[in-house]
Amino acid sequence: MRSSARNRELVALVPVALLLTAGFAAVFAQENARLGNLSLVYGAYFLAVCLATHIYLRLRLPSADPYLFPLVALLTAFGLVMVYRIDADLARDQANWFVLGLVLFALTIHFLRDYDVLERYRYTIAAIGILLLLAPRLPGIGQQVNGAYLGVKIGPLEFQPAEFAKICLVVFLASYLREHREVLIVGARRVLGVTLPPLKHFGPMLVVWGASMFMLVFIRDLGSSLMFFAAFLALLYVATGRFSFVVIGMAMFLVGAWFFASTVPHVHDRVEIWLDPYNDPSDSGYQILQSIFAQADGGLFGQGFGQALITIPGTNDALLPAAQTDTIYSLIVNEVGLFGACAVVLIYLLIAARGFKIALLADDGFSKLLATGLTAVFAIQAFVIIGGVTRVIPLTGVTLPFISYGGSSIVANFVLLALLLLVSDRARKEAP
């Protein structure tokens, strides 16, 4: 069983490397009207890095889920091609971060072999998470981007702490809920036909709610706030089976969000733009409108790799603002069409399916909740940004995991993947 899982992983990696090679070949063909063998070189590098990771997994986590890593590699390969197509320099950064991400992936697997240790430090981890969230507002290291405080800069090191905070939050919640889920269920009271959780044990829940509101107001990060809270509700639901808790939580979030949306200008603007982007098509509504226009041009099959207009020809003005980060999904729709976009969404769904499968197989409470939480936060992040650029929800600055340009995102998501594989390895090993 062990070797068969890793063999399947190995086989699955081959088409990924081929796809990457073909993708680079398409971009080269578009840019230079001739096909060099550079795309083959890139494909070979990528395959080599993936093989090294594969061998590491073979040694360390022989029973872990065989499909997760190839699926993530596929997204990364696709992301690399898209980012390369926007700017070769950005793609070089991205490739470096990919390797750095894999290093952290390996380190996580090495040091958290026995991930139960996380439970012991859950309050420390929660504190680190809160600190990470606070960091962008700290004088000296905080960075403001587009009115939101998302980044931190310490010396030459720049990163977006929210990407890492989401993992801390999930670890804390999984651990806390594992211990308190029974009292939350048993202590529940029915008041006016609604099942309410016991107040005493609900304190930490309020803390999470407070943290989300805090992010909304002080970090002005609507997207992360939404993502955190949705992950929290997902875990709460899975742990307690109480749908009413979710309803109460959602009501609390909406009341808070509504209150702050009407008092905090940045949040208010985002919602206004979402509701009526045509009100100011050349300024505040520009990004979401251009995102939708880019999709309209994609049609069923797209315009082909490297064909989309990202800047207005002859100028440096953006036609699709933040194409390498926020609106990369719109660029994908433009270049590979509805079919290509469906494929991307399907890969996220497959990753979610494998993640939840791990949670189903795991046989201790913490592992189950940890795998559920990590998978949920990952899937919801994809939903928040794709939903943002397709105007399902207000557009916020969250990255598209493994595809968008951005070091924090790639590295943090590889740590997330490492944790999932750790849970998986144990679950499948113990499975009969």
Partner 1 sequence: MFESGAVGALTGCVVNRQIVKLFAFIVALFAVLIGFTSYWSVFDAEALKEKTANKRPLLEQQQIRRGRILAADGTVIARSIPKGRGDSLRYVRRYPEGPLFGHPIGYSFVREGNSEFEKFHDDELIGEESEFTSILDELRGRKQEGNDVVTNLDPAAQRVALDELAAQGFGAVVAIEPQTGRVRVLASNPPYDPNRIPFDLRELNADSTSTPLLDRATQGQYPPGSTFKVVTAAAGLDSGTITPETTIDAPGTLDVQGQPLSNDFSQSFGPISLDTALTSSVNTWFAQLGEQVGEDTMFKYMDRFGFGSTPPIDLPDNQVYKSGLFGENRELLGPDDPVDLARMAIGQERLAVTPLQMAMVASAVANGGKLMKPQIWSRVVDPDGRVTKSLDPAEYSQPIDEETAAELNAAMQDVVTAGTGTNAAIPGVAVAGKTGTAETPFNESCGGGSDENQAWFIGFAPADDPQIAIAATVECTPLFGNDVAAPIFRDVAETILNGG
Please report, as ranges, the residues that interact with partner 1 according to CB under 8 A.
178, 181-182, 185-186, 234, 237-241, 278, 281-282, 285, 289-290, 292-301, 304, 309, 312-314, 319, 333, 337-338, 341-342, 345, 348-349, 352-353, 356, 359-360, 363-365, 368-369, 372, 376, 379-380, 383, 386-387, 390-392
Question: What is the smallest separation between the CB atom of 344 and partner 1, expressed in angstroms?
Answer: 10
- Residue 190: strand pairing partners: 195
Question: What is the smallest separation between the CB atom of 152 and partner 1, expressed in angstroms?
Answer: 30
d(C-alpha 41, C-alpha 32), whole Å: 17
Nearer to partner 1, 145 or 312 (CB): 312
- Of 232, 228, 264, 259, which Cα lies nearest the Cα of 246? 232
Nearer to partner 1, 202 or 245 (CB): 245
Cα 244 to Cα 221, 241, 304: the distances in Å are 27, 9, 47
Q: Which two three-digit tokens encode residue 353?
A: 């399916």
Cα 81 to Cα 17, 74, 88, 297, 298: the distances in Å are 12, 11, 9, 20, 18
Question: What is the smallest separation between the CB atom of 189 and partner 1, expressed in angstroms?
Answer: 9
State which amino acid sits at residue 354.
Answer: R
Question: What is the smallest separation between the CB atom of 302 and partner 1, expressed in angstroms?
Answer: 9
Which residues have C-beta within 8 Å of that of residue 298, sequence separation ≥ 6?
Answer: 333, 334, 335, 336, 337, 338, 341
Question: What is the smallest separation between the CB atom of 296 and partner 1, expressed in angstroms?
Answer: 4
Nearer to partner 1, 156 or 432 (CB): 432
d(C-alpha 68, C-alpha 199), whole Å: 39
Question: What is the smallest separation between the CB atom of 304 and partner 1, expressed in angstroms?
Answer: 6
3-state secondary structure 229-263: HHHHHHHHHHHHCCHHHHHHHHHHHHHHHHHHHHH
Nearer to partner 1, 135 or 335 (CB): 335
d(C-alpha 69, C-alpha 66), whole Å: 7
Nearer to partner 1, 255 or 342 (CB): 342
Per-position b or e across 245-261, b if 16+ CB within 10 A of its CB = bbebbeebbeebbeebb
Question: What is the smallest separation between the CB atom of 413 and partner 1, expressed in angstroms?
Answer: 17
Nearer to partner 1, 47 or 361 (CB): 361
Q: Which two three-digit tokens encode residue 258?
A: 């509504």
Nearer to partner 1, 79 or 161 (CB): 79
Question: What is the smallest separation between the CB atom of 379 and partner 1, expressed in angstroms?
Answer: 5
Q: Which two three-digit tokens encode residue 168?
A: 């801390």
Nearer to partner 1, 12 or 233 (CB): 233
Q: Which two three-digit tokens encode residue 143?
A: 């960075």
CB-CB contact of 70 with 19 (8 Å): no
Radius of gyration of the chain (CA): 22
**Terminal Cα distance for the chain, rounded:** 11
Question: What is the smallest separation between the CB atom of 30 and partner 1, expressed in angstroms?
Answer: 10
State which amino acid sits at residue 326.
Answer: D
Question: What is the smallest separation between the CB atom of 309 and partner 1, expressed in angstroms?
Answer: 6
CB-CB contact of 53 with 100 (8 Å): no
CB-CB contact of 358 with 424 (8 Å): yes
Nearer to partner 1, 134 or 421 (CB): 421
Nearer to partner 1, 10 or 318 (CB): 318
- Of 402, 359, 425, which Cα lies nearest the Cα of 74? 402
Nearer to partner 1, 197 or 407 (CB): 197
Question: What is the smallest separation between the CB atom of 16 and partner 1, expressed in angstroms?
Answer: 21
Task: Compute the Cα dihedral for 369, 371, 375, 381 and give only its sign.
Answer: positive
